[in-house]
Amino acid sequence: MPQITINDAALYYEDSAPNSSKPVMLFAHGLLWSTQLYDKQVAYFQDRYRCIAFDFRGQGQSEVTKSGYDMDSLAEDAIGLLDALAIDSCHYVGLSMGGFVGQRVAIKYPKRLQSLILLDTSADPESPDNIPKYSKLMKAIKWLGVKRVSKKVMPIMFGQSFLNDKSRKAEYIMWLSRLNQNNKKGAVYATQGVIEREGIYNQLAKITTPTLIIVGDEDVATPYAKAERLHFAIKGSKLAVIKGAGHSSTVEEPKAVNQVMENFLKLNGFSEK
């Protein structure tokens, strides 16, 4: 699949229906992951939508640049990708870091979004309680690589239901392997961008796009209280809780996530199924 240079970074993306007239669904992944975070969503929606999933700079198969990892710059990358593909507007789907970016896109470029789906994310800066441990992990990645800390990262990324399900051991191993494939420099740059992000809670009232907020009830990275704050601050938004899911709800409970997304799109007149 192709790469395209946006804001001096070669970004990898996957496009289910290039040059199609289908409505566009743009998928933006969470920290330390890639387009693969949405494989089950793309498979479900691609018959009716042109599904485009991309890797943020420094992650997945995109270029590791020296700068541009703050959330505002990543939002410009997302808009730049839409511009390069001549896409006027899209349904934006963002998980965690992808959600940080999506909120900024909705605030600054409201006409580019038909809907906004935010999964396992927050409008607040990183919690002071988390910064020391995340900074410690970042230093470990810098000197030792992701593989040395990945098993400690997995309980942040996934809920206990997934982690303790013996029938999903192969999935656990697969996602651990994918975590280990992160470029060391890219992982450090991206993590620093997340840790140092500014809060935009006081700007959420500017969001007028139809918005769905999804959170796993086992999410420890951005728990329910964060999702509820988003819901109360974004006028007319819908809030859905996914049972048995942690911070990677698209992977842990894909059928439930797909159904909630489907219902939301149908409610807003975007889906005929």
Of residues 272 and 115, more confidence is placed in: 115
* Domains of the chain: total: 1
User: At residue 49, does pLDDT exceed 70?
Assistant: yes
- The residues, ordered by sequence, that sit 6+ positions from 98 with a Cβ below 8 Å of its Cβ are 27, 28, 29, 30, 56, 119, 121
Q: What is the mean pLDDT of residues 167-182?
A: 97
- Domain holding 69, by residue range, is 3-267
Whether the full predicted model's pTM is greater than 0.85, yes or no, is yes
Is 31 part of a structural domain of the chain?
A: yes
The distance from CA 164 to its chain's CA centroid, rounded to whole angstroms, is 24
- CA–CA dist 168, 81 (Å, integer): 35
Is 24 part of a structural domain of the chain?
A: yes
Is 98 part of a structural domain of the chain?
A: yes
Average pLDDT, the chain: 96
Q: Are strands 113-119 and 90-95 parallel, antiparallel or unpaired?
A: parallel
What φ, ψ does residue 146 adopt, rounded to 5°? -65, -35
pLDDT digits (tens, 9 = 90+) for 228-259: 999 999 999 999 999 999 999 999 999 999 99
pLDDT digits (tens, 9 = 90+) for 62-78: 999 999 999 999 999 99
Is 273 part of a structural domain of the chain?
A: no
Return the CATH number at 174: 3.40.50.1820
Q: What is the DSSP string of 56-67?
A: PTTSTTS---SS
Is 272 part of a structural domain of the chain?
A: no
